[in-house]
Amino acid sequence: MQPLISPSILAADFANLQREVEMLNDSQADFVHVDIMDGVFVPNISFGIPVTEAIHKHSKKPLDVHLMIEQPEKYLASFRKAGAEIITVHYEACTHLHRTIQEIKDLGAKAGVAINPHTPVELLEEVIQDLDLVCIMSVNPGFGGQKFIENTYSKVLKLKNLIQSKGANTWIEIDGGVNLGNASKLIEAGADVLVAGSFVFNSPDPKQVIQGLKEI
């Protein structure tokens, strides 16, 4: 099965965001991955709602919004309004995760939960049937261009088992350090969506790289 590809705009040239989004429109990307960082949940600040809106204005691809923020429930409606098609919150940032997932779905978006490298997939057992997507972080969130954590493969296998045992219909997304060297092993383990930031945007031919990931 061909993976779905979600290039992370975090690695794009922010001074030429429209051009970068148009490049993705013209590529085989399935989504645009939009990384929101608040400087509290993660030790970095990226951008927020107005920039998401600006990306959405030019994008023909659905926005896959990854909220690396504390109290994400406060901002769900704003990001939905800004054009988010998938809204992913962090397990570690949500005290009332079940409620937050329902709120995302009530807004008409697909609901995702991301888990940090130290968080076991088993903690999602009671909500997996409600989830459209689980994002397994394959780096510690906060920065692009980090090294892929090898333990991710075994988490993908465990999550795939959990999804199948519960009869759930949930995509497995992998975020961080994805490249052509690990993509096929991730797909074999059960990944459905690959996020790639620096591997796509640091290349002289991003569209070709996206095609390469699609065709593994």
Residues marked active site are found at 35, 175
Q: From the CB of 88, what's the least distance to ligand DX5, in Å?
A: 9
How many C-beta neighbours within 10 Å does residue 146 have? 15
Q: Which stretch binds ligand DX5 (CB under 6 A): 6-14, 88-96, 123-131, 203-211?
A: 6-14
Question: Which of 33, 137, 51 lies closest to 93, judged by CA?
Answer: 137
- Of 128 and 174, which CB lies nearer to ligand DX5 in the complex structure? 174
20, 30, 35, 92: residue in contact with ligand DX5 (rule CB under 6 A): 35
Site string for ligand DX5, 56-95 (x = CB under 6 A): ----------x-----------------------------
Q: Does 141 bind ligand DX5 (CB under 6 A)?
A: yes
Residue from 62, 117, 145, 190 that binds ligand DX5 (CB under 6 A)? 145
From residue 41, how far is each of 37, 111, 141, 188 by CA, in Å? 7, 19, 9, 31
What is d(CA 208, CA 93) in angstroms, rounded to the nearest whole number? 36
Cβ-proximal residues to 195 (8 Å cutoff; 6+ apart), any chain? 6, 7, 8, 33, 64, 66, 135, 173, 174, 175, 176, 178
- Quick note: the x/- pattern for ligand DX5 over 171-190, rule CB under 6 A, is ----xxxx------------
Report which of 81, 86, 127, 78 is spatially closest to residue 105, judged by C-alpha positions.
Answer: 86
| Helix runs in 74-205, H state only | 76-81, 97-106, 152-165, 183-189, 198-201
Nearest-approach distance from CB 37 to ligand DX5, in angstroms: 7
Please tell me whether residue 8 binds ligand DX5 under the rule CB under 6 A: yes
Q: Which amino acid is at 19?
A: R
The site for Zn ion (CB under 5 A) is made up of 35, 66, 175
The site for ligand DX5 (CB under 6 A) is made up of 8, 10-11, 33, 35, 66, 139, 141-146, 175-178, 195-199
